Amino acid sequence: MGEGRKPMYQVCTHTGYAFVKVSGRASYLNCDPFRRFLRGMMEEGHRNYVLDFADCSGLDSTFLGILVGVALAVRSEGEEGSMTLLSLGERNLETVENLGIHRIAHVRPKLEITDLDQLEAVGNGSDDEAISAREVCEAHKRLMELNESNVRKFHDVVSFLEQRMDEGANGDSARTASNAH
């Protein structure tokens, strides 16, 4: 994928699962449409998610915290459900494993998935779609809850965001959080 291309999330739903193709760098600057899509799917009762990272150049902790939230929610519902992460690539796989996400999601090198001609773009990846500081904070808290070693990795980010939100300095803007990343 060319570096000039903006990140994008393409989605479609099938009987039994929701599919997401992630292209470019998935970060707090562009993941709000993705978060809203997942929230909507959860509200509609979807419990199986397949995400393809073959064209993904990088994942940040906010994006991963959103995934963790959905994966944990799916597991806690009592019904059958799963999250499958495909084609992560070496660096993204290392990040997923270091944070402990591989323990709550299936990680596969690749799956043959048919009927993806119905993919629709979710958001255009512009900076106008930055996630709120509150959502960034919640995503990092989920990562901290997932794995004890994540507490020291993200403690400063969460403390910074909580302080900024308490002060009310642009209280809900992720641009406020950009210094924390």
Q: Does residue 101 form part of some domain?
A: yes
pLDDT at 176 (0 to 100) = 43
Residue 92, helix vs strand vs coil: helix
Please state, in angstroms and rounded to a whole number, the distance separating the CA atoms of residues 81 and 71.
9
- Residues 69-78, mean pLDDT to the nearest whole number: 85
Specify burial of residue 172 (Cβ count, 10 A radius: 0-12, 13-18, 19+). Answer: middle
Domain containing 99: what range? Answer: 8-130
Structure-token pair, residue 160: 């910074």
Q: Does residue 171 form part of some domain?
A: no
- Global pTM reads 0.79
Q: How many domains does the chain have?
A: 1
Please state, in angstroms and rounded to a whole number, the distance separating the CA atoms of residues 95 and 172.
27
At 21-50, the pLDDT tens digits run 999 999 999 999 999 999 999 999 889 999
Q: Does residue 70 form part of some domain?
A: yes
Q: Does residue 69 form part of some domain?
A: yes
Q: Does residue 3 form part of some domain?
A: no
Q: Does residue 135 form part of some domain?
A: no
Q: Does residue 1 form part of some domain?
A: no
Of the chain, the percentage scoring pLDDT greater than 90 comes to 57
